[in-house]
Amino acid sequence: MDRRDFVKTAGWGSAALLFNSGLGRGQANPSRPALPPIEVHGIRLRKPSKLGIPGLFPGRVVEVFHGDSIAGNRVCQPIVGRMLDEGMKELTGENSPAAAWQRFIEPHDVVGIKINSSGAPVCYSSPEIVREIIAALRSIGVPAHNIVVFDRYSYEIELGSYQALLPVGPRLVGIEYGAFDAARYDFDVYCDADFFGESETRSFLARVVSQEVTKIINIPTMKDHAASGVTGCLKNIGYGCFNNVARTHQAPYTYTDPFIGYLCSTEPLRSRAVLHIMDGMREVWHGGPITSNWEFIREAKTLFLGTDPVAVDTVELEAIEKRRREEGAISLWDNDPSTLTKSDAEFHRDCHKNLYFRQPGHIAAAGKLGLGVFDLKRIDHRQLRLA
Amino acid sequence: MENSAGADRDWVTLLSENSRTGGSREASWRVPKGVRWQFRAGRAVRSAPVLRDNLLYVTEVHGAVYALDADSGRPQWTRQFPNWIHSTLSLSGNTLLFGCDGGKVHCLAGDTGRTIWETATRGEVWGSPVVRDATVFFGSADGRFYAVEHKTGRPRWTQNLGGRISASAYAAEKHVYLGCGDGKVYALDISSGRIQWSAPTGDGIDSTPAVVAGTILVGSEDYFFYGLDAGTGSVRWKFETKLGISSSPAASEEAVVFGSKDQNVYAVDIRTGKLRWKTFAGSAITSPPVISGSVVAVNAEGPVLCLDIASGQVLWKAGLGGGLQSAPVLAGGRIYVASQNGMVYALE
């Protein structure tokens, strides 16, 4: 890879304009301002990895359930380890967990584990799962110092106490701490779009992604999201590896559809994100991504595994939408202006309220960018129920 | 104790002094009437300020160390280090000690900021170095606990433990007590580092212990707060909250006060482990409370809260930007608070 040889994907913006109008099952956002051009400035790879999104198993999602994996909000690490083993074997068709991991990771890789700590301390990537993934990587010969656990905000990592809960050896990296803290971003890799007249129109990729790691294992959590409908694999690496993304929301409008997909399509992020393991121990079905209202959180006791983030997120979206139906909440696709509130507090206590016209269509939009399968009928959804 | 506060105006380490009482020597903290000064210390402050000889020392996450005149807030000196700083400063004599994410522990002259020595570990040093009997004690994310000479930084001993060490230790006369990421509380011989005993909890420990009347008081990420026998490590009592506890406790003679990530501040009887009161703070609490006379103050993720120590009733609160570990300093009739957004305030 030549660091100076980045590609400016001119014309994508106009493609996005056309493409946005036909996406999703819901109505277009009422009077959302027109989608601006989006320019993707990625790094040109001599040979994009075949492990990159949508990876080795497009359209395949393995859902693993174990009834004892979490109780009283405490995750049982030995059971999670077994769920991970069985899920990896099912995903790859290999006979052993080690062989399964070796489909994605080689001993000389520098492996980034992208956690989701934004819901800490209530709903965030369980340290128990992260520890089991680190143990699996170590078992196939990845040195501890070649493992980097990272997320965007250092203070959210700290709220999850990863600094104490990770094993000795792997590095723990918070990309930024306070406002305007861009020092750990790569100014050569960015997506540029002026959504609402903001002063900085670029979102830069973290250097840990562009310059340090060779593979990324993505550990999102199972949550609804006030702007994007749900937050899963796509949003965790898109909005979790680039900075200056909150600018895409200006209530009640948001451009998460299609911006999340564009971010995920940017190289080298796309080639390095080889595996997605969604932490579904807890399911936030309303109030996400950051809530402490236990009324909207249930213990789902599930892991979702795949190489195709669009397929995994599609399954997640269906599961959360189903839960909301069962709980009597409004649909994630609801675009009724009467449901809107300007009050965070009201949104967090009322599952009939929205802060934004939500955009679960961002998943299908990413699929149309070639990032995976979003048609449920074409998704190979395998369910394992462990004793 | 070498590092104990020499005067009422001094506040030399996390929770005031090495006994980690939380500054209980002062008269009750009254409602401040206004801001005497404010200072922008860069973009973010995570750790607590310390105070000695009218200089307030503050670290900024991105590597800056400031010595501020406590009356005016004007910087007397500033140093910029290459690595992030999560560690709370510790003062001993005229020296200033802290760790950084690059693995080093720095010892600076308090009056000028000049480097006296530095020593390296292989992991991040987030805890506050503790000084006792001319020895500096600190842990590292490399899983080792270190004792070095205060004067030179030369190693005295190192002990390998089973997990990351992110919190500070408590140095007593014969033992050093600390919690570890492997979920154990350790008692190490202060002169050799040999493990005297270890006591398991259900998950990693990110909280700094206090010791009162032979009882070690420490929280765990297993949601429990423990009272352990300091001689043996046996569990005298444990108290359950709803989420992990990384807030380090402040202790009065009878009660220990700590915050939980479940958004409550708890006061628990040190002798029995029974709840005295709990107060809902509205955001996760990871910073240590401080006690001042009849009140307890805690810097939550949102506001600084001041509670009545007998009842837990909220006396007043002030929105100053929050902080994950930034405990207030209560000294000389003033309150010094650093906030996550990088501001330092002197209230009086």
A101 neighbors A136 (Cβ within 8 angstroms): yes
Q: Distance between CA A162 and CA A147 in Å, rounded?
A: 14
Q: Distance between CA A293 and CA A381 in Å, rounded?
A: 30
A366 neighbors A53 (Cβ within 8 angstroms): no
Contact B44 A73 (CB under 8 A): no
pLDDT at residue A46, rounded to an integer: 83
- Strand-pairing partners, residue B335, are B330, B347
Interface of A with B in 219-278 (CB under 8 A): none
Q: Which of B214, B212, B268 is nearest to B245 (CA)?
A: B268
Q: Distance between CA B5 and CA A299 in Å, rounded?
A: 48
For residue A54, cis peptide bond before it (omega within 30 degrees of 0) = yes
* Tokens 């709990």 belong to residue: B278
- Tell me how close the Cα of B164 comes to any Cα of chain A, in angstroms: 6
Tell me the one-letter amino acid at A91: L
The pair of three-digit structure tokens given for residue A257, joined into one six-digit string:
């559809």
Contact A178 B222 (CB under 8 A): no
Buried b (16+ CB within 10 A) or exposed e, A312-321: bbbbbbebbb
- Does A167 lie at the interface with B, CB-CB under 8 angstroms? yes
Tell me the one-letter amino acid at A330: I
**What radius of gyration do chain A's Cα atoms show?**
19
Domain count of the fold of chain B: 1
Mean pLDDT by 10 residues, chain A (387 residues): 35 31 44 88 89 98 98 95 98 98 98 96 97 98 98 95 98 89 95 95 98 98 98 98 96 96 98 98 97 96 98 98 98 96 97 97 98 98 95
- The reply to whether B16 falls in a domain is no
Length of chain A: 387
Average pLDDT, chain B: 90
Taking contacts as CB-CB distances below 8 angstroms, the residues of chain A near B341 are 178-179
Sign of CA dihedral B270, B272, B276, B279: positive
- The reply to whether B46 falls in a domain is yes
B257 neighbors B22 (Cβ within 8 angstroms): yes
Kindly state the DSSP code that residue B28 receives in the 8-state scheme. P
pLDDT at residue B327, rounded to an integer: 82
pLDDT at residue A10, rounded to an integer: 33
Dihedral angle at the C-alpha atoms of A342, A348, A351, A353, nearest 10 degrees? 0
- Residue to test with chain A: of B124, B166, B185, B207, most A Cβ within 10 A: B166
pLDDT at residue B308, rounded to an integer: 93
- The reply to whether B29 falls in a domain is no
Q: pLDDT (tens digit, 0 to 9) for every residue of chain B, 348 residues total?
A: 333 334 445 666 666 666 666 655 555 566 788 899 999 998 899 888 999 999 999 999 999 999 999 999 999 999 999 999 999 999 999 999 999 999 999 999 999 999 999 999 999 999 999 999 999 999 999 999 999 999 999 999 999 999 999 999 999 999 999 999 999 999 999 999 999 999 999 999 999 999 999 999 999 999 999 999 999 999 999 999 999 999 999 998 899 999 999 999 999 999 999 999 999 998 899 989 988 888 888 887 777 888 999 999 999 888 777 666 778 888 888 889 898 889 999 988
Q: In a 10 Å sphere around its CB, with 0-12 CB exposed, 13-18 middle and 19+ buried, how is residue B58 labelled?
A: buried
Tell me the CB-side half-sphere exposure of residue B10, using CA atoms within 13 A: 16
CB A156: neighbour CB atoms within 10 A? 21
Q: Which of B333, B341, B316 is nearest to B36 (CA)?
A: B333
Q: Distance between CA A33 and CA A362 in Å, rounded?
A: 17
| Residue of B42, B204, B284 lying closest to A165 (CB–CB) | B204
ipTM > 0.95, yes or no: no
Which residues are within 8 A (CB) of A201 and not within 5 positions of it... i.e. 6 or more apart? A192, A193, A194, A195
- Does A166 lie at the interface with B, CB-CB under 8 angstroms? yes
Kindly state the DSSP code that residue A371 receives in the 8-state scheme. I
- The reply to whether B67 falls in a domain is yes
Tell me the one-letter amino acid at B235: V
Contact A166 B181 (CB under 8 A): yes
The whole domain housing B263 covers: 35-347
Distance in angstroms between the alpha carbons of the first and the last residue of chain B: 30
Domain ranges for chain A, please list them: 6-386
DSSP string, A244-301: S-GGGEETTEE-HHHHHHHHHTSTTHHHHEEEEEEEEEEEE-SS-SS---GGGEEEEE
Closest B-chain CA to A172: B124
pLDDT at residue A84, rounded to an integer: 98
A219 neighbors A116 (Cβ within 8 angstroms): yes
- The reply to whether B24 falls in a domain is no
A259 neighbors A231 (Cβ within 8 angstroms): no
Contact B141 A172 (CB under 8 A): yes
Q: Distance between CA A73 and CA A41 in Å, rounded?
A: 42
Task: Supply angle C-alpha B299, B303, B306, rounded to 5.
Answer: 65
The pair of three-digit structure tokens given for residue B309, joined into one six-digit string:
């120590």
pLDDT at residue B291, rounded to an integer: 86
The β-bridge relationship of strands B175-179 and B184-189 is: antiparallel
DSSP string, B136-200: EEEE-TTSEEEEEETTT--EEEEEE-SS---S--EE-SSEEEEE-TTSEEEEEETTT--EEEEEE
Q: Distance between CA B177 and CA B19 in Å, rounded?
A: 12
Taking contacts as CB-CB distances below 8 angstroms, the residues of chain A near B342 are 178
Phi–psi pair at B139, nearest 5 degrees: -110, 165
Write the CATH number for B141: 2.130.10.10
